[in-house]
Amino acid sequence: MRRRGGSGLRFLRRLLCLLSGAVVVLWFAGAAAQIHHVAPVPWHALGGEDRPGGVEIFWQETSDHETGWRAERWGLTFLLPLGKQGLFFLRQDFVRFDSARRRVLDRWPDVQPEEQIEATAGDPRWPYERIVDGFGQPQLGLILPLRIPPVHGGHLGLAAGLPIGNDRLYPYSSGCLPLSCDWRGVVPAGSLQVAGRVGFEHTFSSSGDELSDIAFPGGWRYGLELGHAPGRARGASVVWAARELDDRRHERTLTLNGWLPLGEGHRVRLHIAHQFGGLGDRHADWIYGIAWLLAGSPSAE
């Protein structure tokens, strides 16, 4: 037992050192251009075995003080348990984007297709309205148990955004087809847990004519989390997430999460996040929101 415990602690130290070094390296890496929004896998929905699955109702606001951009997002996430540790999810949202008179092509002219630039010499007024709203891109996915020793527990997350969307909402949503695959491992640390995540994403460009392939980079994804297990009735966690994509584009976000019980397995979850990186990449510097998880019915067992 001692040897196993010592081995686990050594592995935890190595994992923390490796991820810390990666964060430092990525922090000082350069940036080139913008990144489109891809909703994260709902890892926080794991746990709570007495009331599995359910529906999550969420609201989120993102803002950027330098550009004046602001977006609100309302949505539903349907959570269906798969076995004892798996999960199927389906997410749909509605987005309202205020570009504050600084529209997408004015800020990021490179995302316009070359043939459109040659034909029209570009039109930075697109999408013409300062405030655009509409349904965002639906997303579906799976979270499946996949343990890789010596990590205590692990899951594989697969997600796909359906190519149904509105390019006028870019970068908050569009008609592209983003695919992602992440593996997340968990190591207990007393009353808390440490979770590390690594994955890859690739986005097929939109079917519309307004945005070029440059608008949809793909690449690696990383994450590091410290906090309570999501199955606890109440708790908190800190998450560092990074998307290191083509042409040295990056998105790095630090998020503070907290959740409280509402009775009968329901809970409320709050988060506040800050995005780091150059103005050329990010579409927001602050993100905050609230979600209500309405738990599913108790299992027959």
Tell me: the pLDDT tens digits for 44-56? Answer: 988 755 556 799 9
Q: Report whether pLDDT(31) > 80.
A: no
Tell me: the pLDDT tens digits for 171-220? Answer: 999 999 999 999 999 988 888 999 999 999 999 987 777 888 889 999 99
Place of tokens 């579409």: 283
pLDDT at 288: 95
pLDDT at 300: 42
Tell me: the pLDDT tens digits for 108-125? Answer: 888 888 766 555 556 778
CB neighbours (10 Å) of residue 298? 11
What is the residue-averaged pLDDT of the chain?
A: 83
Q: Report whether pLDDT(299) > 60.
A: no
Q: How confident is the model at residue 141 (pLDDT cuts 50, 70, 90)?
A: very high
2-295 CATH fold: Porin (2.40.160)
d(CA 17, CA 12): 9
pLDDT at 249: 87
Q: Which of 21, 14, 83, 20 is nearest to 299 (CA)?
A: 83
Q: Is the pTM of this model over 0.95?
A: no
**CA–CA distance from 276 to each of 238, 282, 283 (Å)?**
15, 8, 11
